[in-house]
Amino acid sequence: MKRRFLNGSAALLLAGGTVLAVFCYNTWSFCCGRCTAATFLTLGPFGLALLALNLLAVFLLVGLMLHRRLTLARCRCCCGTTLGSGWLFCPDCGRAVEHLSEK
Cβ proximity of 49 and 59 under 8 Å: no
pLDDT in tens, 62-79: 999 888 887 776 677 777
Residue 51 has pLDDT above 90, yes or no: no
Please state the pTM of the whole predicted model: 0.48
Distances (CA, A) of 97 to 67, 79, 87, 89, 92: 20, 11, 8, 5, 12
pLDDT in tens, 3-40: 555 566 777 888 888 788 878 887 888 888 777 777 76
Residue 58 has pLDDT above 70, yes or no: yes
